């Protein structure tokens, strides 16, 4: 059996070697010639899987080690009788941690009290629900919008999008879709930006085209938004350098790139392939991940002015998000024709990031509220 895989899927050879011959390629190099005689295709988000790629191939099963599936033509796979699986929810915790690393960074930068802020969460699936839980645990007022869930559950906590436009902070966690009543392509366009309150903060960690990037540049030029955090961009990897200069924090589509999250994705698609083949899964990543570079963090609660400063001190040691921002901004120092290659290289060579649950935090002169908030973020926290 011939298995073609994106080289950026961690442990892909170790996991799939028992099932067949594994060949790895850069995601953008997976072409019709590469997959023609393949049985299994394993991708990440940069590979467009459609008729152009697969027509005439022997591929019987496709799996993406990502939660998003907008790069997959699922209807084509169904028509061809090709099996499909995604790694839904695999890196949800990683993205939620990214959101709060950025949020705490901004809180200290602008001297915010999170308990005084209202957070609007748009899309309350695997990621959004985690963001809701953590934000509430940090004392924030949270407004939730998810039209499909609203229809399915009739739960009054799900509000129309217009009801979130007065929130201090909006964070987007929706799939990218182009059709239907819940289409999200350019969900935030010029008209939507005009509905937002002055000094609103916008986060996008979903897909770049959920936000009209040209309209975003226009609204940023007016000074209406207080801050913007973008991890995803239209036209990746050829992103808009002018927009990068304008945003507060910009990163190269790595919010979900914790090693724990990526390995979860590998495990999920491995088990899906085994199920398709009728083979009992035997590969287990436990014990194969490297230990975190920092396994314990100590802070003195009394030496810090606020819970926000204390939490940020811990979180930035666990995940220094400003380094991701700085690495992306370094792109602006090289010729524009090299930006796409550079953007992809940041993703391919992303440093190992472990999730917060791997790290113990010891707090001297602590408050019970600080310990509780550290635990809400996922740390092992104790006096």
Please identify every residue annotated as catalytic. 207, 236, 253
d(CA 30, CA 22): 14
Q: Which residues of 138-164 are buried (b: 16+ CB within 10 A; e: fewer)?
A: bbbebbbbbbebbeeeeeeebeebeeb
Cβ neighbors of 258 (< 8 A, separation 6 or more) are 91, 93, 94, 97, 353, 354, 355
**Residue indicated by tokens 């226009």:** 218
Which of 110, 285, 279, 129 has the alpha carbon at shortest distance from 201? 110
Query: CA 79, 44, 227, 318 torsion: positive or negative?
Result: positive
* Residue 171 in tokens: 């964070």
Number of neighbours of residue 340 by Cβ within 10 angstroms: 16
Strand-pair partners of 225: 200
The alpha-carbon radius of gyration of the chain (Å, integer) is 21
Tokens of 327: 């690495």
225-230/249-250 β-pairing: parallel
Q: In what order do the strands lie in the sheet with 83-86?
A: 21-25, 2-6, 40-43, 61-64, 83-86
Cβ atoms 122, 344 nearer than 8 A? no
Are residues 63 and 269 in contact, defined by beta-carbon separation less than 8 angstroms? yes
Nearest-CA neighbor of 317 among 367, 369, 264, 358? 358
The closest alpha carbon to 40, from 14, 12, 66, 67, belongs to 12
Smallest CA-to-CA distance from 96 within 27, 173, 9 is with 173
| Contact indicator for 283, 15 with CB cutoff of 8 Å | yes
Strand pairing class (296-300; 360-364): parallel
């Amino acid at each position: 059996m011939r298995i073609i895989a994106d080289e950026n899927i961690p442990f892909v050879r170790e996991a799939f070697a028992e099932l067949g011959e594994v060949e790895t390629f850069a995601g953008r190099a997976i072409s019709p010639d590469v997959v023609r005689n393949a049985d299994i295709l394993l991708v990440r988000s940069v590979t467009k899987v459609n008729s152009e790629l697969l027509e005439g191939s022997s591929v019987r099963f496709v799996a993406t080690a990502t939660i998003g599936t907008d790069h997959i033509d699922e209807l084509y796979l169904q028509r061809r009788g090709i099996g499909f699986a995604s790694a839904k929810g695999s890196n949800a915790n990683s993205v939620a941690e990214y959101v709060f690393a950025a949020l705490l960074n901004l809180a200290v930068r602008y001297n915010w009290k999170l308990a005084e802020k209202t957070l609007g969460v748009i899309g309350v699936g695997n990621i959004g629900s985690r963001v809701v839980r953590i934000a509430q645990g940090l004392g924030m007022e949270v407004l939730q919008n998810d039209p499909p869930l609203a229809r399915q559950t009739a739960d009054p906590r799900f509000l129309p999008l217009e009801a979130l436009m007065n929130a201090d902070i909006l964070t987007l966690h929706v799939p990218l879709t182009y059709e239907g009543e819940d289409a999200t392509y350019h969900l935030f366009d010029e008209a939507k930006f005009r509905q937002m309150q002055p000094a609103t903060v916008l986060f996008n960690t979903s897909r770049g085209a959920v936000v009209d990037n040209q309209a975003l540049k226009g609204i940023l030029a007016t000074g209406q938004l207080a801050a913007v955090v973008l991890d995803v961009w239209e036209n990746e990897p050829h992103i808009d350098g002018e927009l990068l200069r304008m945003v507060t924090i910009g990163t190269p589509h790595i919010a979900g790139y914790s090693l724990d999250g990526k390995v979860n994705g590998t495990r999920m698609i491995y088990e899906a392939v085994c199920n398709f083949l009728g083979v009992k899964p035997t590969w287990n990543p436990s014990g194969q991940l490297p230990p975190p570079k920092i396994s314990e963090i100590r802070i003195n609660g009394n030496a810090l002015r606020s819970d926000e400063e204390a939490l940020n001190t811990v979180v930035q040691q666990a995940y220094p998000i400003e380094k991701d921002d700085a690495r992306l901004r370094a792109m602006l120092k090289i010729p524009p024709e090299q930006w796409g290659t550079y953007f992809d290289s940041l993703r391919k060579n992303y440093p190992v990031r472990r999730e917060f649950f791997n790290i113990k935090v010891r707090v001297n002169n602590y408050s019970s509220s600080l310990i509780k908030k550290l635990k809400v973020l996922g740390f092992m926290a104790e006096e």
